[in-house]
Amino acid sequence: MQVVPNVNRTIAFLGVPAQAVDEVLEHLCAAAVPLSRCMVFLDQPQLLGVLEEQWRGRVEIVAIIVSSPMQDKIRGIELIAEIEAGGLTNVVWVCVAAAQHSGCRQGRFVAFCDDSSTRVVARRIALELMAL
């Protein structure tokens, strides 16, 4: 089955560890939240490749390698997200230390901390996706 992206509902994971992204996507799928496209901005190319391969056919993973610190690259990240999602208002940003990424001008935000429950984060994402 080929995934047809719904660019009107895009999740952008910014600095969230690949394992946590995988768990959040599992929770969203288990809750039957319609997903088609996720952008993952991370500084670990090997993990991005594994994540992309694991979700192939279920969710389109747009993997973007961004070196740290990401705060310095917000404008470039926004440009990529705007092109990929068809506008920043269509993006739910899932960010480590969301306050640090407040440079993103548009979209909806869900904070992710190292001690965040991926199930709780998934619920918050689902609510934000419904609000788009």
pLDDT at 1: 44
pLDDT, residue 3, reads: 46
Preceding amide of 69 cis, omega within 30:
yes
Q: What is the pLDDT along the chain (132 residues), one digit of tens a residue?
A: 444 445 468 999 988 999 999 999 999 999 988 887 899 998 888 888 899 999 999 899 999 998 877 767 888 888 888 888 888 888 899 987 654 555 556 678 898 887 789 999 999 999 998 887
Output the CATH code of domain 10-131.
Answer: 3.40.50
What pTM did the predictor assign?
Answer: 0.86
Distance of alpha carbon 27 from alpha carbon 49, whole angstroms:
21
Query: So what's the pLDDT on residue 15?
Result: 85
Q: Where exactly are the structural domains of the chain?
A: 10-131
Q: CA dist 46 to 7, 27, 50, 52, 90, Å?
A: 26, 23, 6, 10, 28
The per-residue pLDDT for 36 is: 77
